[in-house]
Amino acid sequence: MSRGIKKKVSAARSPGRPRSDEAHQRILEAAYELMNQAGFNDLTMEAIAARAEVGKPTIYRRWSSKAHLVMDAFLAAINPELTFPDSGSVKEDIRLQMQQLVKVLLSPPGQIIAMLIGGGQTDTELIEAFRENWLMPRRKAASEVFKKGVELGELRSDVDVDVAIDALYSPLFYRLLLRHAPLTQDFVDELVDVVMKGLAV
C-alpha cells in the first residue's frame, strides 16, 4: 500500500470525519492495492467494492469508470514525488527530477505506470485518463522549466520544447517497458548530458 494513501486513509478514519470521506479513501486504497495485485485488465469494480466494504453504487457515484478510479488512486499515491527542484541550474533541476522519476519507475508505482500504459493500448478511456491526469501535467511542468532556461540564457531560444521533453523522458519509458537495458541513475546522467549539450547556448 502506498504511504500517501495510508496517510489519507488514517486521516479519513479519525474521529469526527464524515463517513463519506472514509468510504472515499477506502475505495482509493482498495483500487490501488488490487491494481498492484491483479493489474488493470483483471481488476473489477466488484472486487474493489468488496475490498473497500462498500456497495458498487457508492463507487459509481464518485467515479464514472474503472479507468478514472484507478487514475485517482494512482495519483493519490504518486503525485507529490515528482516536482522539479530549484537548484539555480535548469540542467541540474532536470537531472534531479529525472533521477527521482527513475526511483519511482523502479518502485511498485513504476509497475503501476507500466500496467496503465499497457492496459491503455486496448482501453482508450484509460490511456486518455493517463495522458490527461498524469502525463500532461508533468509535460507542462517540464515546459515551464525549459522556458525558464531560455529566459536565464542557459538554453537556446529556438529550442522545440516538446521535442526536447521527448528526447529526455522517452528513453526512460522505453527502458521501463522493454527492459532491454537497465534503468539507472548513471543512464539519467548520461542522457541529460547528451541532450542538454545540444540545447545549450
**Is 72 part of a structural domain of the chain?**
no
Local confidence band at 36 (pLDDT 50, 70, 90 cut-offs): confident
> Has residue 117 been placed in a domain?
yes
19 or 100, greater pLDDT? 100
Looking at residue 19, what is its pLDDT?
59
Tell how far CA 74 is from the center of its chain. 7
**pLDDT in the model for residue 142:** 96
DSSP string, 70-84: HHHHHHHHHGGG---
76 occurs within a structural domain:
no
| Total tally of structural domains belonging to the chain | 2
The domain boundary residue, chosen from 64, 95, 113: 64
Shared domain for 46 and 110, answered yes or no, is no
In the DSSP assignment, the letter for residue 184 is: -
For residue 191, which of 101, 88, 85 has the smallest C-alpha distance?
101
Q: Does the pLDDT value for residue 81 go beyond 70?
A: no
Domain that holds residue 168: 82-199
At 21 the pLDDT is 86
Q: Do 116 and 57 reside in the same domain of the chain?
A: no
Average pLDDT over residues 94-102: 95
pLDDT at 34 over 70: yes
Same domain, 187 and 101: yes
Residue 97 within a domain: yes
**What tens digit of pLDDT does each residue of 117-176 get?**
998 999 898 899 899 989 999 999 999 999 999 999 999 999 999 999 999 999 999 999
- What is the rounded CA–CA span in Å between residue 37 and residue 135? 23
pLDDT, average across residues 97-117: 91
In whole angstroms, give the CA distance from residue 101 to residue 142: 13
Does the predicted TM-score (pTM) go above 0.85?
Answer: no
Nearest CA-CA partner of 164 in 177, 175, 152, 150? 150
In a domain, 104, yes or no: yes
CATH code of the domain in which 24 resides: 1.10.10.60
Q: Express each pLDDT in 14-32 by its tens digit.
A: 444 445 889 999 999 999 9
Q: How far apart are CA 59 and CA 28, in angstroms?
A: 10
Question: What's the rounded mean pLDDT across residues 170-187?
Answer: 96
Burial of 69 (0-12, 13-18, 19+ CB in 10 A): buried
